[in-house]
Amino acid sequence: MNAIKKFFSYLFLPAQHNNYRAKVIHHDVLTAYLVVGFLLVSLNKFVVLPFDNVLGLAKDITVTKLVEYTNEQRVNNGLKPLIYNQKLATAAANKAQNMFANNYWAHFGPNGETPWQFITASGYRYESAGENLAKNFLYSKNVVSAWMNSPTHRENMLRKDFTEVGFAVVDGGLVGEQTTLVVQMFGRPSEAIQVQNKTTTTKKITTKNSVLSEFTTAQMASAPKPMIQLPFTSTQLASGFLIFLLGIFALDFYMASKLKLVRMHGKSLAHFIFLFAIAIATIMLLVNGTIL
């Protein structure tokens, strides 16, 4: 029992045997954390790994939330909410898969593919249509916010004649990195279709959830299954680890104050500034996405 107490004291409490600094926040250990973090980021971005999206990007982006935040923006701007359309969702999923298959990030494909081609191929007959794209985002809200902050994307989001929308959120390798693509397809069905489907297009939006379940289940069934399913996302892991470090630093500061230790010197300060700068750069690398 004493050996276990000494071990945990060595790891977490400043004392003479660990040079009056908890071992888990010694400079060499902090550097090891940094190296492991960079390795994980590099592996996820440039290597296809046999587990379910190490950084967990897509797990924090859901079709349900994308629809919710999109309609929230429309209602806030005095517009009617969009109705979720399965055919537009199929078109969005096919567009995402085509971008992965042909390794491009653009509205128009290298072989002449157009957004309208995917929409009509899904069986959707439109009077007007539009497309927004996004990649490398962590959260649904950030995707919608980025679109709203771009004049051309905002125009699609708030276009009055659009009445329906479909989404796809798909993981894969694109232009040399692992990423999560978000495809948003807008549409207004042609007059003939609107008359033909008058009773179905005016259904209450409460039917949206069953449509979304159908879409996401079908998408998951067609996607390649990972060899290992992780029970958490990297966002949750990183948050937990940051809370752990903050707790250790707080405990270390408390014990140092209690023991009246003075440890701040040039090397220590420079090391912490370096670690802080790298941590901020890494967070910015992960959080900042791209829209098109």
Q: What is the pLDDT of residue 15?
A: 73
Examine the domain organization and report whether 101 and 176 are in the same domain: yes
% pLDDT > 90, the chain = 39
Q: Which of 204, 222, 240 is the last residue of a domain?
A: 222
Examine the domain organization and report whether 249 and 217 are in the same domain: no
Q: Which of 166, 194, 222 is the last residue of a domain?
A: 222
Q: Considering only residues 222 and 107, tell me which one the structure prediction assigns the higher pLDDT.
A: 107
Examine the domain organization and report whether 67 and 151 are in the same domain: yes
pLDDT-based confidence at residue 144 (cuts at 50, 70, 90):
very high
pLDDT-based confidence at residue 256 (cuts at 50, 70, 90):
confident
What's phi and psi for 191, nearest 5 deg? -55, -40
Examine the domain organization and report whether 152 and 89 are in the same domain: yes
pLDDT-based confidence at residue 89 (cuts at 50, 70, 90):
very high
- For residue 246, the enclosing domain spans 2-46+230-291
State the pTM of this model: 0.60
Examine the domain organization and report whether 79 and 184 are in the same domain: yes
- Find the helix or strand (DSSP H, E) in which 185 lies: strand 177-189
Examine the domain organization and report whether 68 and 192 are in the same domain: yes
Examine the domain organization and report whether 203 and 63 are in the same domain: yes
| Of 84-98, 145-159, 257-271, minimum mean pLDDT range | 257-271
Q: What is the pLDDT of residue 250?
A: 77
Query: What are the CB-based long-range contacts (under 8 Å, 24+) for 276-279?
Result: 278/34
Domain assignment of residue 54, yes or no: no
Q: Which two tokens stand for residue 204?
A: 């209450």
Mean pLDDT (the chain, rounded): 74
Domain assignment of residue 51, yes or no: no
Q: What does DSSP say about strands 126-135 and 290-291: parallel, antiparallel, or unpaired?
A: antiparallel
Examine the domain organization and report whether 67 and 16 are in the same domain: no
Examine the domain organization and report whether 121 and 187 are in the same domain: yes
Examine the domain organization and report whether 65 and 169 are in the same domain: yes
SS (H, E, C) 127-168: EEEEEEEEECCCCHHHHHHHHHCCHHHHHHHCCCCCCEEEEE
Q: Considering only residues 155 and 218, tell me which one the structure prediction assigns the higher pLDDT.
A: 155
Instruction: Find all residues with CB under 8 Å of 36, minimum gap 6, and list them.
Output: none
Domain assignment of residue 105, yes or no: yes
pLDDT-based confidence at residue 153 (cuts at 50, 70, 90):
very high
Q: What is the pLDDT of residue 35?
A: 76
Q: Under DSSP, is residue 273 helix (H, G, I), strand (E, B) or coil?
A: helix
Number of domains in the chain: 2
Examine the domain organization and report whether 172 and 208 are in the same domain: yes
Domain assignment of residue 53, yes or no: no
Q: What is the pLDDT of residue 122?
A: 96
Domain assignment of residue 52, yes or no: no
Examine the domain organization and report whether 158 and 199 are in the same domain: yes
